[in-house]
Structure 1
Amino acid sequence: MLATVQASQGTKGQRSLIYIAGDRFAEPALVAIRTYLAERNKQYVEFGYLAGRNPGVSLQEFIPQVTEVVRKTDGDTGILVCGTGAGVEIGANRFPGIRASLCGSAKNAEWARVYDAANVLCIASWMLDDIDLSAILDAWYGSEYDGDINRRKMLHTFDEWAQSD
């Protein structure tokens, strides 16, 4: 389902999309994320539980949907949510070109973007009472990769590891 909100601008001026998905345990976080994005006129596409109200939707179904579109675009990002957040992070990082990071604080989110070029934010919905989701999203969307040469080499090495599977 494509949300009916304005497109946000990517880092290079292009229209960027945010792909969000989660399982049934993610509903409170997904509703908060949807509200956050709509209030900021960011365009998003939903997969997973909220897209079809299917309580049986599994991580194996929606992780590939999100990662497939994120890895084929420049500037688009994903947000994946499950109870622990670890399941979606582990699953997403199995796909080439995906750098998913489980972030429980604004500083985690900022550093994941700036230092590690993360393109998929993972959230633990069971931790919603203990985290400031809006601050995490502000930090994630307010930061971008700094392009440091040493970190580019590191990410290139990580990509080589993924290709050796």
Structure 2
Amino acid sequence: MRIGIGCDHNAVELKNEIKTFIKSLGHDVTEYGEIGASCGEVDYPGVAFEVGEAVQTGEVERGILLCGTGLGMAIAAGKVPGIRAVTCHDTYSAERAQKSNNAQIITLGAKVIGVELAKQVVEKYLESSFPGGNSARKVQQIIDKEKEYLGQ
């Protein structure tokens, strides 16, 4: 699977750990945003928009976004039309993000979750798939309302 990953300045170390871990699971990883010694503070919305748009266009299949709490990234990525982004800090939520909500992006908070648990959360999310069924009707209601708000 092609995975997009991005972070702000609060989550660089966790992002690097997760990137390496995702690769070890056999997935391709594309990084978004500019994080480096010369960058200083990085505002999370721009990174979230980049990953959301990469998922929206099919450049990547899923996204992982990291910031201090994961909350701002989820809000920002969810503003990209068609994107469902959720914050996950446990494996059950990560599994349900995909199985119940067909979320294309999960977000994690580097100040909230440790590295090993973050790896478990990411692994559970990536190994889960959307089965459709009863949840498909609910996800479709979200999609339909979004289209209504966008005037489509």
SS in 2 for 1:132: helix
Aligned to 1:112: 97
Q: What is the aligned counterpart of 1:101 among 56, 71, 86? A: 86
Letter in 2 for 1:66: V
2: distance between equivalents of 1:59 and 1:93? Answer: 13
Letter in 2 for 1:144: S
Maintained 8 Å contact 1:21/1:80: yes
2: distance between equivalents of 1:103 and 1:88? Answer: 12
Are residues 1:143 and 2:143 paired?
Answer: no
1:137 deviates by: 1.3
Are residues 1:90 and 2:89 paired?
Answer: no
Aligned to 2:140: 156
Letter in 1 for 2:146: A
Aligned to 2:6: 21
- Aligned residues: CA RMSD: 2.1
Q: What is the aligned counterpart of 1:43 among 7, 23, 28? A: 28
Letter in 2 for 1:69: A
TM value normalised by structure 1: 0.81
Percent identity over the alignment is: 23
1: distance between equivalents of 2:62 and 2:115? Answer: 24
TM value normalised by structure 2: 0.88
Maintained 8 Å contact 2:4/2:60: no
